[in-house]
Structure formats: C-alpha cells, structure tokens
C-alpha cells in the first residue's frame, strides 16, 4: 500500500537541523526509532506540504533522505507571534506548575478551537510573560533520514477528526 491522501503513515527518522547562514554541520534535533515511531494522517497532518510531497507514493520498507529549506519547512520567525500575556492566566488551578513558567520552557496550551499548541516562555516580565508562539523549528533547514514502517487505511473517524487514533494516536 502506497502513501497517499487519508492513509495513516508510521515512520522512523532522524531529524537534523541547520541554519542557512551558518557553515556548521547539521545537528541532531530528534530521533524517532522503532520504539517511538511517528504516526500521522497523510494530507491532514499539519506538517510542511513539501515533507508530505516527498513521502507521497512510498510504501513500507522504503527509506527517505531529504532536506527542506527554511521556506519549505516552517519559514522564518514572525514577530507577531511573540506576545505578552498576563501571568495570572497560568495558575496551578489551570494546571500550570511555577517551574513551567521559567524562561526557555515550552507551555502546553490549547487554542480557542481545542487544538493543542505550545508557546516558549521568552521572558518573565513580572506580571506578564513574553511568549513565542512560532513553531520551534522556524528559521531552520530540516534534514530527514528515515524509513516508512507502516501504511494503512485511515478509519472514517480518523478522517473526520483529522488525526490518528488508537495505539499511535489519540484516544477520545
């Protein structure tokens, strides 16, 4: 079975990142091995379009090795995605531990539609937190080296919800 729209895809990979303006070799940012593979719903993943295009029509056992340029991946940082929010929105009653509010930490958040997102704490400004909602990989070239380990039909529920369910996805 080939990777195409509305298929659940399982892959293993090593992701290395590099900056366009630096001469240094790419450095490892993430490894998803057979003990912790990555699963997504092809066509609804929210991953860069070029990433999915380069996997299109691959099947179990196929390997891949490609680089996404910054503009093909998550682009450059957007200053409008950096904003100050009142610190009192991040209380223990709302599930936030004080250590989560330290500079450099990533806060697990939800948008108004209930979708998971995260923000990096840039600075504690007293009564406000300066948060960066840009994707953590903005400004980086992404170098993928991996293998397709599973391709299956997505269920009607997975297609309707736009994500993988079950063992390698969400249960709700």
- Let me know whether 58 and 42 are in one domain: yes
Tell me the pTM: 0.82
Which residue range(s) make up the domain with 83?
A: 79-132
Q: Quick one: which of 47, 33, 31 has its CA closest to 137? A: 47
Location of structure tokens 């999915």 = 52
Q: What is the pLDDT of residues 10-21, one digit of tens each?
A: 999 999 999 877
Same-domain pairing of 102 and 128 = yes
124 pLDDT band, cuts 50/70/90, is: very high
What is the Cα–Cα distance from 132 to 117, expressed in whole angstroms? Answer: 11
The domain spanning residue 111 has which CATH number?
2.40.10.330
Q: What is the pLDDT of residue 22?
A: 65
Domain count, the chain: 2
Distances (CA, A) of 35 to 11, 54, 80: 11, 24, 38
Q: Do 52 and 84 belong together in one domain?
A: no
């Amino acid at each position: 079975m080939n990777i195409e729209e509305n298929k659940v895809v399982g892959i293993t990979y090593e992701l290395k990142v590099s900056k366009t303006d630096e001469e240094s070799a790419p450095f490892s940012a993430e490894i998803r091995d057979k003990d912790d593979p990555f699963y997504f719903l092809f066509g609804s993943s929210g991953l860069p379009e070029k990433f999915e295009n380069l996997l299109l029509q691959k099947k179990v056992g196929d390997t891949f090795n490609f680089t996404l340029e910054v503009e093909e991946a998550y682009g450059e940082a957007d200053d409008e995605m950096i904003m100050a929010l009142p610190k009192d929105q991040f209380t223990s009653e709302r599930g936030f531990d004080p250590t989560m509010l330290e500079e450099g930490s990533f806060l697990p958040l939800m948008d108004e539609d209930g979708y998971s997102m995260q923000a990096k704490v840039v600075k504690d400004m007293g009564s406000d937190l300066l948060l960066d909602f840009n994707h953590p990989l903005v400004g980086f070239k992404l170098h993928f080296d991996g293998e397709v380990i599973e391709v299956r039909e997505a269920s009607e529920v997975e297609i309707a919800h736009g994500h993988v369910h079950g063992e390698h996805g969400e249960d709700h």
